[in-house]
Amino acid sequence: MLARFIKRCTAIVLPATLLLVSTQSFAFADITGAEKDRIAKKFAAVRPELVVSDVERTDIDGMYIVNFSSKGSVYYIPKGDYFFTGDLLQIKDKRFVNAKEKRLQAPRKAALAKIDPKDMIIYPATGEKKASITVFTDVDCGYCRKLHNEITQINDLGIEVRYLAYPRAGINSPSYNKVVSAWCADDKQSALTKLKNGDPVFSPVCKDNPVAKQFILGNRLGVTGTPAIILESGEMLPGYLPADQLAKTIGL
């Protein structure tokens, strides 16, 4: 019953975290082997199928994050052997900050830094570049289109927009094929704008286009919907923001 409870709850609230943890090796805060084994035995004593894969320290003294190899993770407090599933939020700078999201920022930033700009569709800032955002986008997404309609305003605010493909319907779907046509076009900017306006683009499928890789990367980085806006810090802002609000969020 407990295993089903953890599986059900964490599968809903933590898919992004687990994808990232399971597909790459990141340097977690130092946890001794003895500590990890002790915590693992606590859970295994109740449910042997709950195999602990990693234990991380949090910013809160006396609280850990326990990741299971099958699926799920929980916040664990050794004193009293309490644990809970869900999000841990912090009030910071007049905002609610998701602690789980915060710990994904560094690996997300590192992963995006490895992407060749030639594989992106970039709309440069007008004049001096004050900030850059990376946006996982889908051409059939209404809010993606709404964001793109403000691309000139965003650029005029000094924000560079770097698009990566994320066809929500999946690889080889109609949306996927549309996105591929933009990434394979000679004028990628124009093609992407046409598609977001609902106009067809006829481009031959180019070999080694990066759309499938970008879709897989998006899943690994915690993208579950579009537009997914990632700041230079690695913080992800899920969903559409008006240009002025976006600039304010970035700090411009």
Q: Which residues are catalytic?
A: 138, 141, 144, 168
Cβ neighbors of 3 (< 8 A, separation 6 or more) are 47, 49, 50
What gap in Å lies between CA 107 and CA 213, rounded to an integer? 17
Tokens for 223, please give them: 């993208």
Query: What is the DSSP secondary-structure string of 22-47?
Result: HHS---PPP--HHHHHHHHHHHHHH-
Residue 218 · residue 136 · CB < 8 Å = yes
Residue 157 · residue 247 · CB < 8 Å = yes
Query: What is the DSSP secondary-structure string of 164-179?
Result: EE--TT-TTSHHHHHH
| 3-state class (DSSP) for residue 21 | helix
Determine phi and psi for 14, rounding to 5 degrees: -125, 25
